[in-house]
Structure 1
């Protein structure tokens, strides 16, 4: 999952497209972020969300990104070791675990989103012919998810009732959204868009994601369970636009936007009010999911251009 410089979620691609991760087992490495930075000081200002931040990096990885969190604090995402593709992973009970069900992922790319509160994971893996497939995994049982008749598929999020927010694309690279529920597929297309990418789903069936008419400028969206769409655009976003990527059952929405200098920053929207968040000391911040307690996960990029996973707890 990677957007045209608007990054990834376990979960697919846009224009310069989406990638994510899966692989083996390791112990956790966690470190607090530096305090006293400009970003932390700004947290006392109006419109800036206040959080306690924690960095979590997969041991030995050159890149760590989280795409999901449930209400028990279990995480899922991707990591990369130098010289290797990204691999899907989870973080539970203070430990990282790399995922590779049935040896499907091997040395090819994969990534994981979720888990929901039942522990269901979702994401994608790449096969030997470089085609991308979605997957869901529950209690060790693994199932490939393909949207019939299309070259590439990805599962971006799954709710407690098994409804999947997914996407497919063919040779033209244009994403088309899908809601799969009880074996039935419903198109998810923002009205008038060229491409639509669902990225998060709540337990009532509300969906968030991004859409575009020009891949250089993206817009967030919310679709309620009745199928009504509304656009989400951060007022201070630059030409690169906005991506809404995660939603909880309190209808809090997280995402990120590009500023006029082409840097990414996070936002959280609560009852129509938008607050902004940046990991202290980070060059760019990408929130990707929010649980029912308002805890946010994602990743940030440091001055050396390395990606680190983070957990942000409200305070």
Structure 2
């Protein structure tokens, strides 16, 4: 399922694309005045854009089959540059303003996390773990992700090679991961146990995130320096089981859907409010497209009737 958007090959059945070789304008969301632009990697069936930095450079991954090996990429001024770790299936997920990529690769039977500066890969894997997925990297080089033995059931951050567990209480999850981090050290992430919920973490304190309403999944994937958290949620199957993107600030959730798409997944946000992610039409070929948007503003959270409000937010 697309619930595991940035993670490993099984997700490619959700994050797929048509084989367009250039970006194309895709219209505007009337309520938010956002302009959406599609980007499809040349010849690929799968494209997802995972993050965007302050200079507009983007990172993501693509694949040529709905289930198959992935290749990481950066996209700068319309120029796509591919990368892979040891010719393995490679996922580019996070990107900071220095151009450092955060991601992971499948090497043999193990997933290894890495940072990549455009010429050199640095492997990041906590001792004794067989699975490490890295999703985000801050301007100071702090990385966040998930790790474990067999499954990534512990969220963590790594600061100068020192690993800190950031798994929300009570623990014991099937899956847990940090996914994005801002300059204040605030982390956005998600856990899966009895249900799937997002979380925020800062200085040892946790806040659980759940989009209000009849929804079954909430995942937080990034947070910018304006404290805007982005991610996606799944509506209950009584409401069609569709995935919707969201942006959250101060307890107010905006729903953001790519126009005409069946499912929308927001995976990253920069400090200007530009969003990136993936969407699909639930087509027979599992095609899913990468996209980016014009900036979301703080004023968008103040419009009358704009948002779903968390009644427990303090």
The two structures have a TM-score, normalised by structure 2, of 0.84
C-alpha spacing 1:314/1:56, structure 2 compared with 1 (3 Å)? same
Give 3-state SS (helix, strand or coil) of 1:298's partner.
strand
Q: Map Cα deviations across residues 41-91 of structure 1 (whole Å, 9 max, x no partner).
A: xx43xxxx4311000000111111011110111000110113741111111
Residues 1:66 and 2:49 aligned together? yes
Match of 1:232 in 2: 209
Figure out how many residues of one structure are paired with residues of the other and give that number. Answer: 282
Match of 1:31 in 2: 24
Residues 1:181 and 2:159 aligned together? yes
In 1, the alpha carbon distance for the partners of 2:83 and 2:152 equals 28
Q: Please, which runs of 5 or more residues in structure 1 have no aligned partner?
A: 21-26
1:289 Cα deviation from its structure 2 partner: 0.5
Match of 1:255 in 2: 231
- Runs of at least 4 residues off by over 3 Å: 16-20
Match of 2:115 in 1: 136
**Mapping for residues 88-103 of structure 1, pairs under 5 Å:** 88-100=72-84
Of the three residues 80, 91, 112, the one matched with 1:111 is 91
What value does the CA root-mean-square deviation take over the aligned residues? 2.2
Give yes or no for contact 1:243–1:255 (8 Å, CA) kept in 2. yes
Match of 1:24 in 2: none
Of the three residues 283, 290, 298, the one matched with 1:309 is 290
Give 3-state SS (helix, strand or coil) of 2:24's partner.
strand
In 2, the alpha carbon distance for the partners of 1:17 and 1:177 equals 21
Q: Map Cα deviations across residues 117-144 of structure 1 (whole Å, 9 max, x no partner).
A: 01110101111x2211011012412211
In 2, the alpha carbon distance for the partners of 1:154 and 1:174 equals 7
Give 3-state SS (helix, strand or coil) of 1:33's partner.
strand
Match of 1:204 in 2: 184
1:312 Cα deviation from its structure 2 partner: 1.3
1:212 Cα deviation from its structure 2 partner: 2.9
Match of 2:64 in 1: 81
